[in-house]
Amino acid sequence: MPEPIVEHVRRAPKVLLHDHLDGGLRPATILDLADEAGHELPYRDTEALRTWFEDSANSGSLERYLETFDHTVAVMQTQEQLRRVARECVLDLAEDGVVYAEVRYAPEQHLQRGLSLTQVVDAVRAGFTEGEQEAERAGNPIVVRQLLTAMRHQARSREIAELTVQYRDRGVVGFDIAGAEAGYPPTRHLDAFEYLQRENAHFTIHAGEAFGLPSIWQAIQWCGADRLGHGVRIIDDIKVGPDGAPRLGLLASYVRDKRIPLEMCPSSNVQTGAASSIEDHPIGLLTKLRFRVTVNTDNRLMSGTSMTREMSRLVEAFGYGVEDLRWFTINAMKSAFLPFDERLAIIDGTIKPAYAVLAAMS
């Protein structure tokens, strides 16, 4: 990879739409909080623990990948724990050059020690606010908002959807469902999605990661998703003909025509078997076909990644330059659940000027 591009990636402002709070903890923090919680970990050394998370997630199975969260969720069960994890998340993202992020988590998974759903959301909000203020003082301004997630194998989605609406003017910008896709279609939670639509609320749906086109079709046509979490299997509806020209099926055409954002997470997709390698990841063709592609981390701890690393891997695999990175970033900011004027302010006031400087240097 050309050295100037490496430096450009590091310095470029970044926008992150798909990042899990419980998938991005610092290993040292897990060790500290596990002692406090009396939770047993597989390793007691920071680096050994970091390696264990990455190796365990590197299995090619989404279900196995999700098992690693038993240990992170276990140390996020008090307001103090949640506040610390949220604050550190913001600081880590800001240090990586992220200027706007939507970080998701499932409030229902943080009730084991007696917290209420509202106490969970309030604690995360407090941590995000502290992190934003500290990052601002350090010269790394960032805006971070919450996405509240319901677990697709549980039955609390309507309750979490109502919580999303309750907090939409207090740091929460949208809703999501997550967890194993097979056997748990998004239509199981249709009541929640219909409620959100009536309330003019935003939501994304994990779809088209471990499961195929039916998952994407249901998320869009039955549930009305604003964005697709991953959506990588949309590639199954694109066939390359004998002449080398791609031919889009009806669903792929609809997704592209409607500019439905794809929250693509390349490293995570390779780990879970949704893609065989970064070089073969569908993001290459989808970008070439000008789908609304965005680049994301998914779970920074499990994938050993950051936005800088994700973008660097794409530069190396596909030869992307400054203009491509700018396109991904503006795609993401356009697709954010932040109000239009606030999105525009970040695009015009931060992203475009910074990329103009990088372009002049390249």
| Residues noted as catalytic | 209
Up-side HSE of residue 22: CA atoms within 13 Å toward CB?
A: 24
Please state, in angstroms and rounded to a whole number, the distance separating the CA atoms of residues 28 and 194: 41
Q: What is the DSSP string of 10-39?
A: HHS-EEEEEEEGGG---HHHHHHHHHHHT-
Q: Are 87 and 130 in contact (CB under 8 A)?
A: yes
Q: How far is the C-alpha of 129 from the C-alpha of 149, rounded, in Å?
A: 20
Find the helix or strand (DSSP H, E) in which 173 lies.
Answer: strand 172-178
For residue 238, the 8-state DSSP code is E
Classify residue 139 as exposed, middle or buried by CB count within 10 Å of its CB (0-12, 13-18, 19+): exposed
Q: Are 94 and 138 in contact (CB under 8 A)?
A: yes
> Please, are residues 230 and 269 in contact by the beta-carbon 8 Å criterion?
yes
